[in-house]
Amino acid sequence: MKPWYQRTLRWAQTNLTEKDPARYDADWWRDHWRRTKVQGVIVNAGGIVAYYPSKFELQHRAEFLGDRDLYGEIAAAAQEDGLTVLARMDSNRAHQALYDAHPDWFAIDADGNPYRAGKLYVACVTGPYYKDFLTGILEEIIERSSPDGLTDNSWSGLGRDSVCYCPNCRDSFGQDLPRSPDWADPVYRQWIRWSYDRRLAVWDLNNEVTRRAGGPDCLWIGMNGGEVVAQSKRLRDDAEICKRASIFMLDSQWRHEESGFQANADSGKRLHGLLGWDTLIPESTAMYDAGVPTFRLGSKPEPEARMWALEGWAGGIQPWWHHIGSVHEDRRQYATAEPLFAWHEANEAFLVNREPVATVGLLWSQRSVDFHGKDDAETVSQLPYRGWVDALVRARIPYLPTHEVDSRFAVIVVPNVGVLTDEQVAALTAYVEGGGRLVVTGESSLYDEWGDRRDDFALGGLLGVRHQGKSLEAGRVDWETYDAHTYLRIEDRSLADGFGDTDVLPFGGQLEVVEASGAALTYIPPFPIYPPEKSWMAEPRTDVPAVVLGERTAYLAADVDRLYARYHHPDHGRLMANLVRWAAAGEIPLHVDGAGVLDCQIYRQGDATILHLVNLDQGGAWRGRLEEFTPAGPFAVRVQATGSRARFLVSGGEVEVKEQDGWITVGVDRITDHEVVVLS
């Protein structure tokens, strides 16, 4: 039998509150495990709050625990049912008594005061709390209950905004600690890298301990988020963590308004890019009403929870239901998982053991998020990336996030990755010389590995552009002074598909000023929007490049990617899609006709092709949580594949299809939430 971390596809978590030892209904939850077809459970064990009578007096016992071993009882029931058991820790904070006994175990600010979170104290990752105390607790839990592994909700200590000045950090850092977060200070930059390493040391030590105490498969797996900017703020190095993780416990529980459901498929693909596609990525999915605002005891509307889960599955993520507390007066949340998990069980053979198909790679770099994005990484790094995600989804162009320059892609998009190391620049150059094609935007390659600005783009020669040392900001936006009232002029019609009846496109963003020998689009400077009598172009044509095309490269000086993430102006999305189609020169393995926003993913599994189509055109123009489904269709789907049959895993049924020149066309009449088509 495969080890637990390779075979446990569906997970359950009833996240116990301190009240639960007095009211947990073991039979009901055991039935719920069966109803929802889960194969593993995550059970609160210790850390901030212990749910078993620990020999460590200073580990705070749940208020209503008494001498009960609630953790042990739940773990034993799950083991009896043949389920994988993960003991859940939450290690980053502790109560007053532990602080009083060991104040030197806790993080200290520049003034010598402990960092506090409410009434709790934040433990320092370099100190004996992690090295000695917590490791003892891990051993105790393993001895008492033999869980398959352990996981930790919040394992990485303070984020990068909070420098710790405790004696252990002073010793370990080996030089004076940075006085404050300051990206211009080389010591702070070194502290950033050192801080990542300290978290990895916690990961390694915990695994050493749990494997020694519980055997080689008794892994300790910290939970991690799905967005790289958030991971950076918490000093978690995605690439290094993924090297260590035999399973990735993804704590990314709900849709955020600004990034949409599609962010979940993107997270799955991005992480699989690091982990490989055989490693499982279960994702904690809130059945409670998570979001803005959050209601821990409320029920998330079922369509909202369902869409988040389905996008995750389309990106290679596995389901994991999550409730806060064991007793709820809003019982609607119990109905969400059952049909979803039943479908997952029935179709699991098609949802794992497969490889993605895409010809477009979207480059991302945590180093650039850190040393280019700095304190404004959402705007600098994340929005341009997200703009491409959205534009590619909208254009139904399958893509994969990539951390490396991978020659299997026909096109690599580099979305304002300001920091590119000399090695990355060399790899991108070799990629283009080997026939690959690049779409590069904004400040990409303008900074070295520590975020110091270079004299010019390191990719400038390859792209045929020279940076002129300045950028034109979008400017002020109000009705009287509307400095963002700028346009782009289409000079070269090779990017003008869908723009047949216009010579200009709206812009309104930031532009890097570059010199080039020609431009496919040029910049039109701002002019008033008010009063209307003044709304005419004082300077209708400039030679300021906005898009520069080379033989196999495109450079986008105008930040339409960032703008598209913010505003979804159709012209910006179309221009980006046109750039990728121009670069791909026909090498896109999918074409879909029919109205709607569909997120499309293609996988190969042996000779079969598996196509996920997720209907994102939900709720129309209505913001907020998803309340009901809006079916879309019909669609005509053309996909590069072989085979003679199409099987529909959601609507059911099967049709014969004809393959012609390596392409199959199949009709999909109606997609309510999603459809999965298997061609074989």
Q: Which residues bind to Zn ion, rule: CB under 5 A? A: 124, 126, 164, 166, 169
Residue placing its CB nearer to Zn ion in the complex, 103 or 461: 103
Provide the minimum distance between the beta carbon of 166 and Zn ion in the complex, in angstroms, as a whole number: 3
Nearest to Zn ion of 163, 484 (CB atom):
163
**Nearest CA-CA partner of 155 in 200, 194, 118:** 200
Collect all residues with Cβ–Cβ distance below 8 Å to 53 and sequence separation of at least 6: 61, 65, 67, 68, 69
- Amino acid code (one letter) for 85: V
Contacts of 457 (CB under 8 A, 6+ apart): 444, 445, 446, 463, 465, 466, 467
Lookup result for tokens 């719920």: 32
Number of residues written out for the chain: 680
CB atoms inside a 10 Å sphere around CB 62: 22
Q: How far is the CB of 195 from Zn ion (least distance, A)?
A: 10
Whole-number Å distance between alpha carbons of 325 and 62 = 13
**92 versus 359: smaller Cβ distance to Zn ion:** 92
Provide the 10 A C-beta neighbour count for residue 305. Answer: 28
Q: Measured from the CB of residue 129, what is the shortest distance to Zn ion in angstroms? A: 10
**From the CB of 116, what's the least distance to Zn ion, in Å?**
14
Which CB atom, from 126 or from 231, has the smaller least distance to Zn ion? 126
What whole-number distance in Å separates Cα of residue 351 and Cα of residue 424? Answer: 33
- DSSP class of residue 20 equals G
**3-class secondary-structure state, position 19:** coil
Three-class SS of residue 131? helix
Indicate the residue among 8 and 156 with the shorter CB distance to Zn ion. 156
Between 103 and 518, whose beta carbon lies closer to Zn ion? 103
Nearer to Zn ion, 164 or 271 (CB): 164
- Smallest distance from the beta carbon of 100 to Zn ion, in angstroms? 18
CB 83 within 8 A of CB 33: yes
84, 145 contact by CB (below 8 A) = no
Least distance (Å) from Zn ion to the CB of residue 174?
14
What residues contact residue 334 under an 8 Å CB cut-off, 6+ apart?
32, 287, 328
Strand order in the sheet with 116-117: 93-94, 120-122, 116-117
- E strands, 582-628, are 590-593, 598-605, 608-615
Of 54 and 206, which CB lies nearer to Zn ion in the complex structure? Answer: 206
179 versus 408: smaller Cβ distance to Zn ion: 179
Q: How far is the CB of 592 from Zn ion (least distance, A)?
A: 53
CB count within 10 Å of CB 91 equals: 25
Report the nearest approach of Zn ion to the CB of residue 377 (Å): 24
Minimum distance between the CB of residue 223 and Zn ion, rounded to whole angstroms?
Answer: 22
Report d(CA 511, CA 560) in Å as an integer: 9
Which of 169/649 has CB closer to Zn ion? Answer: 169
The least CB distance from residue 126 to Zn ion, in Å, is 5
**Strand bridging mode 360-363 / 84-90:** unpaired
Question: Which ranges constitute the DSSP H helices of 81-221?
Answer: 96-101, 128, 134-145, 167-173, 186-214
CB atoms within 10 A of CB 525: 17
Cα separation of 328 and 338, whole Å? 17
Smallest distance from Zn ion to CB 193, Å: 16
Residue for token pair 């950090």: 169
Q: How far is the CB of 220 from Zn ion (least distance, A)?
A: 21
CA triple 52-55-59, angle to 5 deg: 70
78 vs 123 by CB, closer to Zn ion = 123
Of 124 and 549, which has the nearer Cβ to Zn ion? 124
- Rounded CA-CA distance 444/264 in Å is 25
Helical H runs in 8-87?
A: 26-35, 70-80
Least distance between Zn ion and beta carbon 139 (Å): 24
- Residue number with CB closer to Zn ion (129 or 523): 129
